[in-house]
Chain A
């Protein structure tokens, strides 16, 4: 690098630039959290949804599945499974999910296995409520199609 561009100039760009963009980032984050309620529909965040999120976490579902594209890539996307398997109807979806969870592992030789988590029916219903909440968040039109 040329001699006219000195170390102290480089240092000032580092300090000034990173401070400026850090503050801008915090400002934008604050704005984002302010407008998020209209998109995440937190008015629907019931106690059942909250319990469902807890169950999602302590069973480490994210260790195989993606949720809105984040997680592991071993098993299907679940951010929109409420629409894929429940057609957007809560009772249909709860019935599906209870059936699904109870028959795991499918035990088809060579096929990827989902474990048996031994959840009760109220627990599976809470999970269903959580997945409904997730499906109803507005996430700028992702995924591209119903398969997730």
Chain B
């Protein structure tokens, strides 16, 4: 980074409205590195699904899964933070309160994250629990919340420092709707994460409040973050009046929270909970696709009514793509299994995995890649957009990854339907056992792994776009 400021300092001044926005760059780069790791371990697991003893001794499935899902969450957090450091100063029309703090927190978070992943890979999980003192404050060993307690504390500290920095910047500058919605979402993210420290001995309560982190993140406050980033990008690339965009943003997040909060009930169908959740959860979560559908209308409307032609076509493609894929993954695939009578049969099958993949990719991976696409040419001092050639490579990455994800989802859905048919619908005694059923699904799992390889190729293609302009810059 220092190199850029001295060598290309002038260019960056030209392309960034505020020079402190540059702190977003290491966040984005590190996020993309972790993304590669995530997919690598996805491929390992995909193979273990059909070749059960693959790497069995060295990387058991549960370890690969922790690495895969925790890398996902952590790189998305890096992406959200990078997005905030980039867009908050520009919206507030003032420099970031403390660029130094942002860089310090970057290294703290990167070190804590790397150590945690190495811990998963290098020692047995029970040993990791022991050396990090889990017995004194047990929070480990729950899905997605596998991090040692000290890592969780580290995440909270990083979030607090980050929120302080962003908050002070907003206080000092213009309080736009986008900034206010973004920081509300980010504060919500930190607040709901606190439920990860609540781990009662009663598994029934543990399960109930576990969803306060997981569901209220992805179907609650993260939607505010997504909406704010999308609104920022749409203003920048279409030049449409801010008033109109802000009105849409309010409508979208209103629908998201009004449906999504009580929508948590779709996870309370089969816990030690009263039956009324089957009605409340079904009805409100059935409304959850609406904000995602509104995002599709809004993104396409704004782009169609654009007042300028922004040279960054790739960023426009990502912005439209994320709205469509989030609607398909969260909205359509979510609705598929969200009504209690359907969920009774599909709960915890490959249908869930199919939905989880497309929803996370469509909504949160793609929104982070949208802001990276828009911001990177500026952060690298290239200009408003990267060269045509680089954009073509980037768009190849977009299509390969997105089409591969559609196929991953379709194959897992096929597997899930057959699983329900063989294992869940028949009576006890006639139903196939879990393991017998899995053998019957092998063909779908092979196909998923093949689509996964295409996804990885797409990701590498996408990353190659960052090399194109560097080469040309050297030539000239």
**Footprint of B on A, CB under 8 Å?**
1, 5-7, 10-11, 13-14, 17-18, 21-22, 24-25, 28-29, 31-33, 35-36, 39-40, 42, 45, 49-50, 53-54, 56-64, 66-77, 105, 107, 109-113, 115, 117, 130, 133-134, 137-140, 142-148
Contact = CB atoms under 8 A, between A and B. Distances in A.
Interface string B279-321: 0100000000000000000000000000000000000000000
Contacts of A7: 243, 246-247, 250
B141 A62 contact: yes
Contact of B48 (A21, A42, A112, A148): A112
B137 interface: no
B348 interface: yes
Given A10-B251, A69-B347, A134-B203, A139 B270 contact: yes
Where chain B touches its partner, the secondary structure class is: helix
Given A32-B268, A32-B273, A59-B126, A18 B434 contact: no
Contacts of A35: 274
8 contacts: A7-B243, A13-B254, A36-B204, A57-B140, A60-B66, A70-B210, A75-B434, A144-B424
Given A21-B262, A24-B262, A60-B62, A53 B201 contact: yes
A138 B423 contact: no
Contacts of B262: 21, 24-25, 28
A72 B65 contact: yes
Interface in B256-281: 257-258, 261-262, 264, 268-278, 280
Contacts of A56: 141
- Which are the 7 A-B pairs with shortest beta-carbon distances? A63-B62, A57-B141, A69-B348, A112-B52, A40-B204, A10-B250, A142-B270
Contact of B431 (A36, A76, A145): A145
A142 B269 contact: yes
A113 to B, nearest CB: 4
A96 to B, nearest CB: 15
Given A58-B126, A60-B66, A137-B204, A146 B435 contact: no
Interface string B195-223: 00001011111111010000000000000
B61 A58 contact: no
Contacts, number: 223
B142 interface: yes
Contacts of B210: 70
Nearest to A65: B62
Contact of A112 (B61, B142, B427): B61
A39 B261 contact: no
A144 B344 contact: yes
B24 interface: no
Given A36-B204, A56-B141, A140 B247 contact: no
B257 A14 contact: yes
A66 to B, nearest CB: 4
Interface in B345-386: 345, 347-350, 352-353
A50 B345 CA distance: 30
Interface string B115-135: 000000000011001100011
B66 A21 contact: no
B247 A73 contact: no
A58 B428 contact: no
Given A113-B56, A145-B427, A147-B431, A137 B254 contact: no
B63 to A, nearest CB: 7
Contacts of B345: 144
A41 B269 CA distance: 18
Contact of A25 (B202, B203, B243, B261): B261
B253 interface: yes
B467 interface: no
Contacts of A110: 51-53
A18 B263 CA distance: 12
B331 to A, nearest CB: 19
Contacts of B272: 36, 39-40, 137-139
Given A10-B247, A111-B52, A63 B61 contact: yes
A28 B261 CA distance: 11
A95 B376 CA distance: 60
